[in-house]
Amino acid sequence: MRVMGLDIGDRRVGVALSDDSGSVARGLCVLSRRGGTADAAAVAALAAREDVGLVVAGLPRTLRGDIGPQADKVLAFVGDLRQVCPVAVELWDERLTTRIAERSLAEANVPRGRRRGLVDRVAAAVILQGFLDARGARRPDGTAGACAREDPG
């Protein structure tokens, strides 16, 4: 099953997509925000076009784990998305993913001017890969992944 990851910002939405097995994420695109429910409709249309079975939206909690003003905006967006998207939408803690994406681009020697257009897409891939890795041993269909571990408890 393909999974879509979202890095939701005030001006842009970074989008990532997994492979068909739901194990590897790659950045797909960046959508410019237009406002209102149009943004959620654009994401839902993209999810349908890419034939995804699950959407994972990054939730920007504070470093203490609280819900702050930006997380409230993301929750509102996700509420709109759930109204128009036919597949499940889950939230995933995305603390520090933008910094990780910026550092990755800098380490890859991507010129500073080009990073701005890529950072949201890379952040979405970081969010999605974190979700996929954490889910690792269990897929939504209940089958075990290649890295399944025995639970010692």
For residue 18, give the CATH number of its domain: 3.30.420.140
pLDDT of residue 106: 61
Q: Confirm whether 151 is domain-assigned.
A: no
The number of distinct structural domains making up the chain is: 1
Q: Confirm whether 148 is domain-assigned.
A: no
Q: Confirm whether 140 is domain-assigned.
A: no
Q: Confirm whether 147 is domain-assigned.
A: no
In DSSP terms, 90 is beta-bridged to: 56
Kindly list the distances between the CA atom of residue 45 and the CA atoms of 17, 25, 51, 76, 83, in Å, as whole numbers in the listed order.
Answer: 14, 19, 10, 18, 13
Q: Name the CA radius of gyration of the chain, rounded.
A: 15
pTM metric for this prediction: 0.80
pLDDT of residue 149: 33
Q: Confirm whether 55 is domain-assigned.
A: yes
Place of tokens 């969010």: 127
Q: Confirm whether 8 is domain-assigned.
A: yes
Q: Confirm whether 31 is domain-assigned.
A: yes
40 within 8 A of 83, measured Cβ to Cβ: yes
pLDDT of residue 148: 36
Q: Determine the structural domain holding residue 25 and report its residue range.
A: 3-135
Q: Confirm whether 121 is domain-assigned.
A: yes
pLDDT of residue 114: 62
List the chain pLDDT tens, one digit each, 153 residues.
899 999 999 999 999 999 999 899 999 999 999 988 899 999 999 999 999 999 999 998 877 878 888 899 999 999 999 999 999 999 998 866 666 656 665 666 656 666 566 778 888 998 999 899 888 745 555 554 443 333 333
